[in-house]
Structure 1
C-alpha cells in the first residue's frame, strides 16, 4: 500500500534530478508518486505529441482493478477515474450474429466480493494522470512531449570518484538536450532504450537485463483496430444504435478458419468518442492481405452482412486500416534486473549521503510484458510504482538502499506474473477451437470444484487475479496447488481403471 511519508517535507532528496523516459501510465504515475513524496526537478520524456494523442491501433481499453486503484487511491483521483469510466460490476455483452439476431447476457467474470474495476480508454487514463500534473504538480514535474531519448552514457566525474549519467534527448524538430540525472527511470516499454543500455553495460558479468521469453498460445497473434463512429447503427435499417456503455461481439458470416472473425468492442463512458473494434486473428488470416480500401469494404461487407459497413466505416478509415501494419501479441517475458547503480561520491560527501549514488530503476512493460489476456498490463505497472514507493519509504528516500529493496520486493511477483500470463486465459481468442474447448472444460472443472470444496481447490487463475489482496506469487501458488491435486486425482482414476481392466482380464 502506498504511504504519504515525507509528502509535505523538503529534504535533501527533493533536490535530486529525476529523468523519466516514457510518459505512459507507468512514467506519469512514477513522476506523481515522487512529487507527492517531496521530490522536485522531475522531467518526463515522451515521444508522443500530447497526453491524449490518438493512435487507432493502440486505442485499447484498460480495466483498472484493485491493484491499479492502490495508486489512484494514494493520489486521490479514484473519484475522477470513476467519473470517466464504466464499472464492471454489471458487465453485459451483446452478441450480434450474421443473420442480425442479437442476444445480451451478463458475463460471469465479476466477483461481487472484490473491488469494482473500471473500463477506460488508454488515452483517457493517461490524460487523467497528466491533468493531475497540470493541476497540482507543475512546479515539480515537467513533461516534454515530442521528445525521444536517443542515448545514455556513463561519464567520468571531474573532482569526484565514480561516474555520472548523461542522457541525450532529441525533439521531432531536431533539438538536442542533455540531462545528468541522479535517478533515471525507465518506463519506455518492451523496446526500452534504458534497459537495452543497461544490458550492454552489464553483459560481461550477467544477463540480468536480458528479456527472458516464454511460450503462450496467444503469442504472435496479430491485431488491428477498426475505428467506428459513436452510436453507430447495429442493423441495416438504422433502427438500433450502439450504446457506449455496452460491450459488443459482432460475429462474421464466414466459418472457415482463415476468414472467420469477430469485432470486439469494450465499453466506454464518453458517448461522443469513437469506438474501437478489435480484430485479433492468426497471422495467416485473410484480413491481413487486404491492401486498399476497396478490398477492405468488400471483405467486411461479406463478413458482416448484418451491419451497414459503408455507413459505419468511412473511406478514410478503410484506407487507414488497409495501410496499417497493426501489431503482434508479444510472448510473455521479463528481466531479472530491475535496477542499476553507479557510484557517485563527491569530495565532501560521505558514503552514507543519499546523493552519493546515481541510480537507474525500471518499471512497467520495460521489465514485464505479455499479451493482454489477463488485463494486468496497466495494473501491474501501477503496482510497480506502489512497490517502489514502499522501498523509498523504508529507506528515507535514499536510492542506494531503496532500489535494491524495490528489486527484492518485486522480482518474485514479476516472475509469477509472467507465468500467470502463460496459463490464465490464453485461449480466449478461439485460435484453436479444440484447444479452446478443452481449456473451457478445465476452467469450468476448477470453478465447480472450488464451489464444492473451496478449502481444497482454488478458483481458476483468471478469477484469482481479480483478488488484488493476493500477490501474483500467492495466486500462482494457489493455481499450481490445484493443478497438482487434479494430476493426482487423474492418476488415481487412471490407476483404478487399469486395475479394473486387469481384474476383468484375469477373470
Structure 2
C-alpha cells in the first residue's frame, strides 16, 4: 500500500483523497495550514461562491453520494441576469444548470463525506498544520504543528494541492524542477454580501440566477444566490478606479449603490454597506507552470499549478477536473505513477494553459464589445438555427454549455479572444 501525502485540504486535495482511497491501495495523509472548518462558526464561514459547472460536477459525480450532499448546501442556477443602469435585465439561460455553493461549504461537505467513509488507519487529516518545506531526496514533507514544533511526514507520493501560494510549488521552482510564471490580474475586488429579499418583503431577487451589472470604467458587480436567501459576490474594479475610495461613511457606500445599481437598491441595508466598507481590497494572482509533476513521485494539481482569473468561473471546475483526469491516467497505467504522472502533464497542460487565455480574454471590457457580447448571447442564440455561420458561439457559451476541452474552446473562439485582447491593450 502506497502512502500519499497531500498538502492542502481545499476542494481539490479532498476530492483527490476520495479518488485515491476508493482505489483501495493507498493510505492518505492530508495537511492543511488553515483552521479546521468544522470548528468555525457558520457566520464566519462565508467566503466566495463557487459555480460548479459540468466539468467540475462530472468529477464529483464519480464519488457516490457527493453530488447529492453538495446540492443540499448550494443553489442550482439556470443562468444569468444582466442589469442595465435602468430598466429590465436581460436574461441568459443555460442549457446546463450550474451549482452555486460557498467555497467553504464545498470543502466542508467533501471533508465530512471523506471522514465518514474511511478509517483512521487509511486517512489522516490535520488542520492548522502548514507545510514549511519538502525534501524530494529523502521523500519527506516538513510540517509545523499547532504548538510550533516541526516534524516530518514520509511519503511514497506527494501532492501539492495547496493553492495559488503553494509551498510545494515554490520549493520545486526554487530547485528549478519546474518553471513558473506568477502575475496579478489587472483588476481588484471587494467581497459583498446582501440579502436576496428586501427587509419589507416587497422585492425578491431571483434565487436561481446569477445577478450581474456592468457600471462602466471597468467596474462590475457579480452576485450569486446562496441557500440562506443571501447573495454572495464581488465588486470588481481597476486598482486606480475604486468607486468607493471617497466613500468615508457607511451611508456614502449605501448611497453609491442606490444611485448606480438600481436592482440592488431595495435589498441592500446600511449594515451590508458597513461590512463592504470594512472589507479589504483584494488582488488575484495567476499561476502558469510548465509541468504538473516532478519525477515519479510529485504531483501538482489545481491552483498550485494553474491559478487563473475568476472572470468566467472555471478555476475550481478545472481543478476538480484535474483529479478526474489524473485518476484516468492511474487507470490507464495501473497505478504506476512513473508512467501516469508524465502522461497527466502531457494530457492536461494544453488545456489549463488554454484556460488561462480564456479567463483573461473571454469577457470584454469595452462598451461596444460588451453590447455585442450581450447581443450574441441573447439574440444571436435565437438566430443561430437559421444563420449558423453568422452567429458562431462565443467562448463563454462553449465553456458553459458544452464539455469541450478548454484547448478546443480556445481554438474555436480564437477570433473573439484576439479582439478582446486588442481592445484591452489599445
Q: TM-score, normalised by structure 1?
A: 0.71
Distance 1:310 1:65, change over 3 A: closer
Distance 1:323 1:57 in 2: 17
Q: CA deviation at 1:246?
A: 4.8
Secondary structure, counterpart of 2:413 in structure 1: helix
The structure 2 residue matched to 1:87, chosen from 48, 73, 76, is 76
* Structure 1 residue 339 corresponds to structure 2 residue 293: yes
Q: CA deviation at 1:438?
A: 5.7
Q: Which residue number corresponds to residue 180 of structure 2? A: 210
| More strand, by proportion | 2
Q: Which residue number corresponds to residue 389 of structure 1? A: 327
The structure 2 residue matched to 1:240, chosen from 192, 202, 205, is 202
Q: Which residue number corresponds to residue 301 of structure 2? A: 363
Distance 1:457 1:36, change over 3 A: same
Offset from partner CA, 1:190-220 (integer Å, 9 cap, x none): 22111111112226xxxx431266x9xxx32
Check the 8 A contact 2:35/2:127 in 1, yes or no.
Answer: yes
* Structure 1 residue 61 corresponds to structure 2 residue 54: no
Q: Which residue number corresponds to residue 234 of structure 2? A: 278
Q: CA deviation at 1:383?
A: 0.8
Distance 1:58 1:377 in 2: 19
Secondary structure, counterpart of 1:164 in structure 2: coil
Secondary structure, counterpart of 2:328 in structure 1: helix
Distance 2:382 2:213 in 1: 29
The structure 2 residue matched to 1:470, chosen from 404, 410, 415, is 404
Structure with greater Cα Rg: 1
Distance 2:390 2:225 in 1: 36
Q: Which runs of 5+ in 1 are unaligned?
A: 1-14, 155-162, 342-356, 487-507
The alignment covers a number of residue pairs equal to 411
Secondary structure, counterpart of 2:16 in structure 1: helix
Instruction: Give the stretch that moved more between structures: 383-392 or 469-478.
Output: 469-478
Check the 8 A contact 2:77/2:210 in 1, yes or no.
Answer: no
Check the 8 A contact 2:49/2:233 in 1, yes or no.
Answer: no
Q: Which residue number corresponds to residue 324 of structure 1? A: 279
* Structure 1 residue 416 corresponds to structure 2 residue 349: no
Offset from partner CA, 1:25-55 (integer Å, 9 cap, x none): 1111111111111144311112221236579
Q: TM-score, normalised by structure 2?
A: 0.83
Secondary structure, counterpart of 1:124 in structure 2: helix
Distance 2:390 2:24 in 1: 47
**CA root-mean-square deviation:** 3.6
Secondary structure, counterpart of 1:240 in structure 2: coil
Q: CA deviation at 1:423?
A: 2.7
Distance 1:29 1:397 in 2: 17
Q: Which residue number corresponds to residue 91 of structure 2? A: 106
Distance 1:38 1:250, change over 3 A: closer
Q: CA deviation at 1:128?
A: 1.5
Q: Which runs of 5+ in 2 are unaligned?
A: 420-426
Q: Which residue number corresponds to residue 58 of structure 2? A: 70
Distance 1:479 1:93, change over 3 A: closer
User: Following superposition of structure 1 onto structure 2, how do residues 34-183 of structure 1 map, counting pairs within 5 Å?
Assistant: 34-51=20-37, 59-76=47-64, 77-89=66-78, 91=79, 93=81, 95=83, 103=88, 106-108=91-93, 110-111=94-95, 115-139=96-120, 140-154=122-136, 163-183=137-157
Q: CA deviation at 1:269?
A: 2.2
Distance 1:56 1:284 in 2: 30
